[in-house]
């Protein structure tokens, strides 16, 4: 069962929340782009180092939270890299072998994916979803689509609590004691969630119509701090990473 | 089963974004059209999106001893049609990346293609085919959910194999490898999701029959003659 939205919690409390989405987005996308286009060493390592400094410094994530956030993508990356490291050959049946090529690719892949994940965290841990929706609206994404996305976000928070409560109630009634009981509990829980989400939507609709809701559900947007210095520093950081990667083979 | 952030090379990320874009744009247009014609539909669609997201928090038992979660796209495709699911899946996958660190931004195009396009289209196609052959709703729902899940897994394995062909046995070897690695959880999961779908559908027929009729999932009953 999902235990809340840890990345979202980090974003709401981040000191960088007041910064403009344009500034943070450019930095984060720049770092992600560098992670997947530059060689893992030194490019990927450089991106990972910069992202770690930002996350533990100004973004204020902290070691413990960063550890909790990283384990799920970490496991995915390790499983995928392990599959790449092992080669397969058909000679008198299936043979598994580890080649130097496979190991190099897997190592580079693990570095690149870790660096890109940390780069993504710099945006996810500093920008709540509602700020992202406001930025997309300003970027002229159709209102109806932003509306659906923000409603999904609103429903999600409520439904996660409901899903947690259903799971807890089923668990205390030994609803997960056996395989068949687990399937029965999962199906009843899923049905209850679907019906509740429809019911919640209907009640919200009735409430909104009563308040004159016609097209968009706009909310007050606090002013976000735009900074040319921040933007320039982001561009310089990415440029240094690119230049460092280009100079690396020469210096060796 | 999503491809993690940064896992694909840049050219593959761009290519999968381009491949997914027409489906997502078409789905977005359908959503806008539905919102204009029936303003109340957007709340139902949002509820469906949130349901798909939260569904990933429901754990199912797996044969390997671990547990995994359903994708929910097969059920969504039967209820709301595949183009709408392509758009809703994009939002759900974006949320999973930014709120749960599951999947990623650079790999969003690839994940949308497997989970939001291939899975729902195959699932919905199976449902329609089952109805055409006159099979029961239960068989249709089982096939829709199981095949949507299974083809998502096949497509993801193909995407990974294409990005990382095996140095010894090439694309075929890499495909076998990725299929094999995830088969332990994904094959039982696809079957479990199919069974779960049948149980959910049975409950839904009992408690949400009018909604299913309104969505056109089950035929409307003829009005009682006084």
- Minimum Cα–Cα distance from B75: chain A residue: A194
Sequence-separated (6 or more) residues with CB below 8 Å from residue A229: none
**Res. A18: pLDDT tops 70:** yes
Please judge whether B59 and A186 are an interchain contact, meaning their C-beta atoms are less than 8 angstroms apart: yes
Q: Could you give the number of structural domains in chain B?
A: 1
Q: Do B181 and A83 touch (CB under 8 A)?
A: yes
pLDDT attached to residue A56:
95
User: Measured between alpha carbons, how far is B41 from B43 in angstroms, rounded to an integer?
Assistant: 5
Residues A155-178 have pLDDT tens digits of: 888 888 888 888 889 888 888 888
Task: Please say whether the beta carbons of B118 and B100 come within 8 A.
Answer: no
Give which of B5, B32, B73, B174 to mutate to test A binding, by max A Cβ within 10 Å. Answer: B5
Q: What is the DSSP string of A206-230?
A: HHHHHTT--S------PPPB--HHH
Q: Contact B95/B42 with Cβ under 8 angstroms?
A: no
Chain A residues touching residue B164 (CB < 8 angstroms): 84, 105, 109
User: Taking CB atoms and an 8 Å cutoff, what residues of chain A touch B211?
Assistant: 198
Find the mean pLDDT for residues A68-88.
88
Among candidate residues B9, B161, B162, the one with its CA nearest the CA of residue A35: B9
**Pair A238, A34: CB distance under 8 Å:** yes
Q: Which of A116, A123, A125 to mutate to test the interface with B (most CBs of B within 10 A)?
A: A116
Confidence of residue B62 (pLDDT cuts 50, 70, 90): very low
**Which tokens sit at B17?**
């974004």
Q: What is the mean pLDDT of residues A126-155?
A: 88
Whether residue B1 lies inside any domain: the answer is: no
User: Which of A148-152, B116-120, B210-214 comes out lowest in average pLDDT?
Assistant: B210-214
- Per the prediction, chain B carries an average pLDDT of 84
Q: How confident is the model at residue B63 (pLDDT cuts 50, 70, 90)?
A: very low
**Does the distance separating the beta carbons of A200 and B47 come in below 8 Å?**
yes
CATH of the domain at B133: 1.10.1760.20
At A225, give phi and psi (nearest 5°): -75, 115
Q: List the single residue in A with minimal CA-CA distance to B206.
A: A191
For the segment B140-154, the average pLDDT, to the nearest whole number, is: 91
Residue B109 lies in domain: 10-214
Contacts of residue A45, defined as CB under 8 A and 6 or more positions apart, other chains included, come to A111, A115
C-alpha distances in Å from residue B215, one per residue of A25, A192, A243, B36, B218: 39, 18, 56, 17, 8
Q: Evaluate the omega torsion of the peptide bond into residue A117 and state whether it is cis, within 30 degrees of 0.
A: no
A144 bridge partner residues: none
Phi, psi of B68 (to 5 degrees): -140, 180
Give the pLDDT confidence score for residue A4 in this predicted structure. 55
Q: Distance between CA B18 and CA B138 in Å, rounded?
A: 36
Of B101, B1, B77, B91, the C-alpha closest to B49 is: B91
Is B117 inside any structural domain? yes
Count Cα neighbours of B157 within 13 Å in the Cβ-side half-sphere. Answer: 22
CB contact under 8 A, B6 and A115: yes
Lowest pLDDT segment from A128-132, A188-192, B152-156: A188-192
Which position has the token pair 């329609």? Answer: B128
Q: Is the pLDDT of residue B52 over 90?
A: no
The yes-or-no verdict on residue B187 having pLDDT over 50 is: yes
CA distance B226 to chain A (A): 31
Query: Is residue B40 in some structural domain?
Result: yes
d(CA B201, CA A58): 49
Instruction: Answer whether residue B44 is part of any domain.
Output: yes
DSSP-based helix, strand, coil % in chain A, nearest 5? 75, 5, 20
Tokens at A76, concatenated: 């995915």
The model's confidence at residue A1, banded by pLDDT at 50, 70 and 90, is: very low
| Residue A207: predicted pLDDT | 82
A235 pLDDT more than 90? yes
Predicted pLDDT at B69? 67
Distance CA B3, CA A252 (A): 34
Question: Is the interface score ipTM higher than 0.90?
Answer: no
Dist CA B161 CA A67 (whole Å): 30
Q: Let me know: does A125 contact A52? Beta carbons within 8 Å.
A: no
Q: Cβ of B9 under 8 Å from any chain A Cβ?
A: yes
State the DSSP H helix or E strand holding residue A97, giving kind and residue range, or none if neither.
strand A94-98
Provide the pLDDT for residue B65: 41
3-class secondary structure for B9-22?
CHHHHHHHHHHHHH
- A195: confidence class by pLDDT, cuts 50, 70, 90: confident
Given the structure tokens 């994904």, which residue do they identify?
B186
Q: Do B47 and A187 touch (CB under 8 A)?
A: no
Question: What is the model's pLDDT at position B170?
Answer: 87
In a domain, B123, yes or no: yes
Per-residue pLDDT, averaged over A229-241, amounts to 94
Q: Which residues of A touch B208 (CB under 8 A)?
A: 194-195, 198
Task: Decide if B207 and A113 are in contact by the 8 Å CB cutoff.
Answer: no
Q: By mean pLDDT, which of A122-126, B58-62, B95-99 is the weakest?
A: B58-62
Q: Which of A4-18, A77-91, A184-198, A228-242 has the lowest mean pLDDT?
A: A184-198
Q: Is B67 among the domain residues?
A: yes
Least confident window among A37-51, A108-122, B15-29, B181-195 = B181-195
Is B220 in the A-facing interface, judged by CB distances under 8 Å?
Answer: no
Residue B56 has pLDDT above 70, yes or no: no
Query: Which of A79, A99, A160 has the CB atom closest to B181's CB atom?
Result: A79
Between A49 and A159, name the one with better pLDDT: A49
Residue A81, SS3 per DSSP: helix
Question: Does the residue B36 lie in any domain?
Answer: yes
Gap between the Cα atoms of A193 and B127, Å rounded: 23
> What is residue B63's DSSP assignment?
T
Domain boundaries, chain A: 6-127+223-251, 142-210
Separation of alpha carbons A57 and A233, rounded Å: 16
* B179-195 average pLDDT score: 80
Q: How far apart are CA B216 and CA A227, in angstroms?
A: 52
Residues of chain A with C-beta less than 8 angstroms from the C-beta of B200: 187, 190-191, 194
């Amino acid at each position: 069962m999902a235990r809340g939205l840890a990345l979202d919690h980090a974003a709401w409390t981040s000191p960088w929340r007041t910064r403009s989405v344009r500034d943070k987005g450019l930095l984060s996308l720049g770092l992600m782009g560098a992670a997947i286009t530059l060689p893992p060493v030194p490019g990927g390592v450089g991106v990972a180092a910069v992202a770690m400094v930002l996350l533990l410094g100004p973004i204020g994530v902290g070691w413990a939270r960063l550890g909790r956030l990283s384990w799920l993508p970490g496991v995915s990356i390790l499983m995928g890299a392990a599959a790449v490291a092992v080669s397969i050959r058909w000679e008198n049946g299936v043979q598994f072998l580890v080649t130097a090529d496979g190991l190099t690719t897997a190592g580079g892949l693990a570095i690149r994916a870790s660096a890109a994940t940390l780069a993504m965290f710099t945006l996810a841990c500093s920008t709540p979803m509602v700020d992202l929706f406001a930025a997309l609206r300003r970027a002229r994404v159709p209102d109806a689509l932003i509306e659906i996305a923000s409603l999904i976000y609103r429903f999600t928070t409520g439904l996660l609590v409901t899903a947690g409560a259903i799971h807890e109630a089923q668990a205390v009634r030994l609803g997960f004691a056996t395989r068949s009981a687990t399937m029965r509990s999962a199906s009843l829980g899923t049905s209850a969630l679907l019906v509740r989400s429809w019911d919640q939507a209907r009640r919200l609709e009735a409430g909104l119509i009563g308040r004159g809701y016609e097209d968009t559900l706009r909310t007050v947007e606090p002013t976000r701090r735009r900074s040319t210095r921040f933007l320039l520093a982001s561009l310089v950081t990415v440029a240094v990473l690119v230049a460092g990667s280009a100079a690396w083979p020469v210096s060796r | 089963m999503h491809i993690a952030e940064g896992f694909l090379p840049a050219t593959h990320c761009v290519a999968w974004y381009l491949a997914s874009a027409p489906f997502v744009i078409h789905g977005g247009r359908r959503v806008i059209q539905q919102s204009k014609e029936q303003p109340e539909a957007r709340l139902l669609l949002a509820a469906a999106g949130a349901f798909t997201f939260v569904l990933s928090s429901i754990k199912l038992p797996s044969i390997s001893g671990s547990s995994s979660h359903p994708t929910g796209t097969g059920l969504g495709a039967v209820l709301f049609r595949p183009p709408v699911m392509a758009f809703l899946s994009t939002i759900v996958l974006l949320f999973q990346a930014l709120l749960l660190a599951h999947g990623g931004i650079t790999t969003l195009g690839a994940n949308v293609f497997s989970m939001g396009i291939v899975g729902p289209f195959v699932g919905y196609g199976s449902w329609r085919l089952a109805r055409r052959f006159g099979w029961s709703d239960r068989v249709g729902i089982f096939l829709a959910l199981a095949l949507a899940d299974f083809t998502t897994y096949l497509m993801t394995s193909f995407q990974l194999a294409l990005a990382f062909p095996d140095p010894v046995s090439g694309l075929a070897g890499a495909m076998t490898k990725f299929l094999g690695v995830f088969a332990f959880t994904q094959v039982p999961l696809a079957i479990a999701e199919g069974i779960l779908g049948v149980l959910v559908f049975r409950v839904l027929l009992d408690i949400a029959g009018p909604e299913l009729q309104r969505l056109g999932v089950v035929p409307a009953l003829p009005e009682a003659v006084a």
